[in-house]
Amino acid sequence: MRVDKKVFEFEWDKGNREKPKKHGLTPEESEEAFFDDNKVVFGDWRHSTAEQRITLLGKTKKGRLLNITYTVRKNKIRIITARPINRKEVPLYEKRA
């Protein structure tokens, strides 16, 4: 699965803009992972009941590896959650890099 190149805008509202802060991230740093050439993208079928959710593993400019779950609404990326990846997820990213 790839990030759709037609989608190039991020949508944040009051609720989801604060979520990355719980993990020491800013919304802007969360967005950086989408531009990582080595990002890994796959469907999140377990949590996708009402809308398609996608998980992305990517690296920021600071070198932080992030796990981001998002959806696409009206050609905008809406980040649902963003956090540092855990040790079990590191090999998924490194296999691609």
CA distance 41 to 21: 23
The pLDDT averaged over each successive group of 10 residues in the chain (97 residues) is: 62 85 92 95 74 92 95 90 94 85
Three-state DSSP class for residue 79: strand
- Domain ranges, ordered by start, for the chain: 9-96
The Cα-based distances of 16 to 1, 22, 78, 79, 94 in angstroms read 24, 11, 8, 7, 28
pLDDT, position 44: 73
What is the pTM (predicted TM-score) of this model? 0.83
